[in-house]
Amino acid sequence: MESPAQDTPPPPTPFEALAHLVDGPESIEQAAILTQALKAVPDLQTWLRERRQHVVNTLHDRDGMSYTDMAPHLQCTPQRVSNIASGHSRSGGKTRRGQATETEPAEAL
């Protein structure tokens, strides 16, 4: 049996709010909730991608921030920021707003 939940390391920083999923003693309900969360990861990735695209476009259009200025903050190249803004994935597809589906793995946030 694994060590108690209090010894479980916290989730990665952006997901600390999910730590409550492992609170308390281990139970089948906890396993079921964690399974549901794992199954929802593709939807979460899509949502995060779409929100990032919206924010990048807003910063560019409203604030006049260049892709070159955004790139270091997003830890990518200006060309990648341009691709994010237009909805292109690393796999060459587009996000849902771009009218194509995508099956790429998680991107760095």
For residues 98 and 85, what is the distance between their CA atoms, to the nearest angstrom? 11
pLDDT, one tens digit per residue, over 73-93 is: 999 999 999 999 999 987 655
Identify the CA nearest to 59 among candidates 77, 73, 43: 73
For 57, what's the count of Cα atoms within 13 Å in the CB-facing half-sphere? Answer: 11
**pLDDT recorded at residue 44:** 94
For residues 21 and 74, what is the distance between their CA atoms, to the nearest angstrom? 29
**pLDDT recorded at residue 11:** 87
For residues 102 and 78, what is the distance between their CA atoms, to the nearest angstrom? 22
Domain ranges across the chain: 42-98
Most confident of 1-10, 26-35, 53-62, 98-107: 53-62
Residue 94, SS3?
A: strand
Residue written as token pair 């994935």: 89
Mean pLDDT, rounded, of the chain: 83
